[in-house]
Structure formats: structure tokens, C-alpha cells
Structure 1
Amino acid sequence: MVPSHDAPSPGLCGSYLIGHLQDAFHFPALNASVAEARKRVLARLREWGIDEVACDDAQLVVSELFTNAVRHTDSDKVGCRLRVSGAALRIEVADHGHAPTEPRVRCSGADEESGRGLLLVGALSAAWGVRPDDSGHGRVVWADVPHGRLP
């Protein structure tokens, strides 16, 4: 999927938008925060009754996006926003720093240990993209992960 820059930014109203489940949080821009973000996402999605496949996919997407924000920007913190709307789970990861380039899919060699994260994000999501954050200093990388709600 080719990333799009024109995705809407959801507005917050407590922990719910009318008709939508949502959560927002941030952690320090540290490697240890990646695991904390995965745990937070899993707990919230299970609370909302999201199916296990989507929970697993969302954890991988958050892990990749958080890792990129920690490694490739000079952010002090990294934010995450989750929003369920219909059959889509929107995941947004925001950095507050500057990176020399925009996130993009790249081709990694077979012997390289990194560089495949956005390929994975693209494979697990219906769409993904990048947009400037609201402050204009950082960026938001978002992904729409399909889900089902458990009965």
C-alpha cells in the first residue's frame, strides 16, 4: 500500500469519540518504551473486545512505528493514539523531534538485521501514511489495521 499524507487527524473528547473507542498515551523516547507501548495497546484492545489476530497485528505495528520514532528522531517522547471506527483500528504514532528523512519503505539485503519495519506495517494494515503533527515539529505515522469484535 502506498502511504498517504492526507489522512484525517482524530479529535479527542475524553477517552471516547462519539461512537468510537479511543485511547492516547505517550512514553519517553527510549528503547524500553517500545515494550510498554505494546503492553498498553494489547490491554486496551482486549478491553474493547478486539479479536486476537488484530491484537497481534496491532502490537507488531505499534512496535515497528515506536521503534522507528525512538531510533530515527531526536524526540523526548513518543505518542500513540488508538481509535476504533467500524471495522478499522487507526494506530497513530507521533514523534516530536526532527528526522533527516520521511519514513519510507526500503529494500534491505538478506543479511541486514533491520529495515523491514514499514514493509511489515504495510503487510498488516489496509493503509498507512505519514503526516505532519499538529505542532509542525514532528510527524505522525498512521496505520489502519482491520479488526473484528469478539462476540
Structure 2
Amino acid sequence: MTTSPRQARRSTLPLPLADQTVLSFRFTASPRGARLARRLASCQMDAWGWPYGSPVHDAVELIVAELAANAVTHGLVAGRDAELRLSREDGWSVRVEVSDARGERLPEARDAGAGEDGGRGLLLVAALATAWGTAPRPGGVGKTVWAVVPAPGGTG
């Protein structure tokens, strides 16, 4: 029996598993890569016991979407990947980390003007997370933007 190319590709991705406490995934610094990071985070949250549509799941998914979009928009360096890291902490929170290659461009939460299309993403992150911030990218060039989301329940 042969496997389809889709099955072969799927097996190279990190699998969302309930028993793993950390999910780490490098993605291309592109809109497609950012969408994949959001989708993988969504699947991992479901595997951890916070199902699709639950408040914790949706908060983490939105934070990953915002941070990944910022990484590929403002942290882009040609030929360098971005990275997503999700970790369950103490069974009561989920830490989201998104790293990019532009350490000199630190994010700032600001209230965008009425005529601006963007600029509100970090305000959403701040509203959904108990804490957020930046740190140097571990083991590489760039920065990591992180957020901690309260996550009672689940299998964590």
C-alpha cells in the first residue's frame, strides 16, 4: 500500500498530542506560514482538552494569529523562519511564544487611529493574556514575543 503525498507531508509536521507539554514549530515567515501556525495551535489546544469554540481555545488561537501575523509582517528577514512555541504551564495557563529574526523591531501596543486598518492586535493580546512581553530569541538572532493565557480545566 502506498501513501499519498498529503499523508507523507502530514507525517513531517509536529503532531498535536495530549501528552506533550510543549509544541514547537518553525514556520516560513509568510502569510501562509502564519496561518499554519494558528491552525496547529488550534489543533494542539483541542488535543490538550480545550475544545474548539471554548474561551481558552479561542483566546490562544487569536493570540497566535496576531503574534504570527506580526512576525511575518514586521519581523521578516529573507531566508529566516519564524517559530511558534506553545507550552502548558502548571496546568492553569498556556504560554504562547512567537519568535522572528528582527530583534531591533520591538512591538508596541498602541491605540490605532480611526482611519488606520491595523495596529490593534497587541491591544487584543493584552486584553486576553494575563501578561505579555518580549525577550531575546533563545539560541538565535531576533526576538520572542510571548503571552500567558489563563487556562483552567483541560487535560493540562
TM-score, length-normalised on structure 2?
0.78
Which residue in the other structure is 1:131 paired with? 135
Which residue in the other structure is 1:9 paired with? none
Q: Distance in 2 between matches of 1:27 and 1:74?
A: 12
Question: Is 1:92 the equivalent of 2:94?
Answer: no
1:9-61 superposed Cα distances (whole Å, 9 cap, x missing partner)? xxxxxx9xxx9711100110001112111110111111110252111111110
Bigger Rg, structure 1 or 2: 2
How many Å apart are 1:135 and its aligned residue?
3.4
Other structure's SS at 1:149 match: coil
Letter of the 2:64 partner, please give it.
V
Q: 1:67 aligns with which of 56, 59, 69?
A: 69
Consecutive unaligned residues in structure 1, runs of 5 or more = 1-14
Other structure's SS at 1:68 match: helix
Other structure's SS at 2:153 match: coil
Counterparts of residues 6-17 of structure 1 (less than 5 Å): none
Q: Distance in 1 between matches of 2:107 and 2:154?
A: 33
Label 1:114 to 1:38 Cα distance change in 2 as closer, same or farther (>3 A).
same
Label 1:126 to 1:66 Cα distance change in 2 as closer, same or farther (>3 A).
same
Does the 8 A contact of 1:74 with 1:99 survive in 2? Answer: no
TM-score, length-normalised on structure 1?
0.80
Q: Distance in 1 between matches of 2:93 and 2:132?
A: 12
Label 1:74 to 1:34 Cα distance change in 2 as closer, same or farther (>3 A).
closer
Q: Distance in 2 between matches of 1:100 and 1:138?
A: 7
RMSD over aligned Cα, in angstroms?
A: 2.0
Q: Distance in 1 between matches of 2:103 and 2:124?
A: 21
Indicate the larger mover: 110-119 or 42-51: 42-51
Identity %: 36
Letter of the 1:29 partner, please give it.
A
How many Å apart are 1:99 and its aligned residue?
5.4
How many Å apart are 1:150 and its aligned residue?
3.9
Question: Is 1:77 the equivalent of 2:112?
Answer: no
Greater strand share, structure number? 1
Greater helix share, structure number? 2
Higher relative contact order (CA 8 A, sep 6+): 1
Q: Distance in 2 between matches of 1:134 and 1:53?
A: 30
Consecutive unaligned residues in structure 2, runs of 5 or more = 1-14
